Structure 1
Amino acid sequence: MLTRALIVVLAILNVGVALWWMLRGEPAAAPPPAPPTGVARLQLLDTPAIAPAPTPAAPAAADAAPAANTPALTDATPEPPKPTAATTPEPAKPVAPAPVAVAPGSARPSETPAAPTPTAPLQCISLGPFADRDTAMAAQGKAGGLVQRSRLREVPKPGASSTYRVMMPAAASREEAQAMVKRIAAAGISDYYIMGQGDDANAIALGQYRNREGAERRMAALSAAGFSARLVGGSEGSAQWWVDAALSGTASPSAARQRTGAAQQRSLECAGLR
């Protein structure tokens, strides 16, 4: 019986200890130790300051004596350095642009360049008529600096009918004429035919022209290819000659007409003057 009573007592004690352990409160945190009197507290720059724990009140008589000789806590704390004139950065001052050297007589950079003067449109005229080629060539030379470029042009007189033909002399036979035609064709020259009757039988005609200038160009081309031709037709006084010219600068048509001695002046398309 005694053993059973002891077991019951121990069980009751264990239950009581367990209840006490569960119902007891959290232990209070111990206050941090107070710093020594007269010593500054070390604080980190990037952590908030922790206020010191209040010290227990001491008798007034005990605190009076050391207060006179011990400096206050706030006096011992080092103050942050004040900015001085040497360490304070000054605002940057705008730098004025350096003056640009300008040569005498030249335009300044700020000045607007003058607009180019528009050139006058080209003006072309025909001066004439002249009786023959030599007279027209003399008038062309008299124009001088009044014209930029010029050319001679032959036209039939009103009511006159005259043509120019380029021909090669008559061959001794038809066969010889045909052989010459083959040589002409081999040289790359076209527009030819063999005359079959009359005084010019077996002669080779190489073109018919209304003005002498075209006939002379044809003869020059034949001569360059190695063929000899002659100019047939035309009559003295059946054609007129004109000087086609492009005026230069500010020259006027009347001034060019007076200098060349032309009786008339006519407007001309500059596109046709080359």
Structure 2
Amino acid sequence: MLTRALIVVLVILNLGVALWWLLRGEPASEPPASPAGVAQLEVLPATQAPTTMVASPDATPALQDVTPASAPATAVADTSAPRPAASVPAPAPVAAAPAPPAVPAPVTAPPAPAPAQCVSLGPFADRAAAQAAQSRAGAALRGAKLREVADAGATRYRVLLPPAASREAAQATVKRIVAAGVSDYYIIAQGEDTNAIALGQYRNREGADRRLAALSAAGFKATMVASGGDGSAQWWLDATLADGTGTAVARQRSGAAQHRSLECARLR
């Protein structure tokens, strides 16, 4: 066993020596000797400047400056003289912005005319007294009309539509009244006003007059029936006030004791 181990060691050593022999480099050859009498070139480091230059015996002589001393020196340009300014191209003209379109002035609507004001002046004892009051009022009144009130002392006023030919006709009229937005109605079922349509009962004439005007504007021709009076008659002057005329002025000019507001629709 020992012999075998020695043999293995020797083989490994031989292989190592052979491998070293193969991988080793060739020995550097020495440079040939320079001939006698010939100067050698010595390579200096790059950072060290050469101090002397050895000239060769057959080198070409250096050139000498043969320029005569009297030759004038080259003139130096005077830099202090001002130089002409370089021409700068003029800027291109800027196009003027277009003028904004003219805005038309707002049209001011004329003021709306003031609504007409109507009035009833009275009471007067007879027609002649009412006509005299109309003359005294003059231009303060427009479209004046005389109106007779036969039941001046009445205590109740009823607004009615005339009796219809049948119950069915009265009911058809009621449907029209409801469609027009009128309320407070009923159909009279008996008496001399059978199938008439009652549209309200009032304690003063002003309320009845307003009801009549509303029904007239809706297209219904109603009548007013007074009750409880003594049968005496009165006259009233109904008219539209002129522009700029107040109720008090019209009353003073006519000499009326009273004035009442009036629906202008009743004067048409």
Question: Normalization by structure 1: what TM-score?
Answer: 0.34
Structure with the higher helix share, 1 or 2: 1
The structure that has the greater radius of gyration is 2
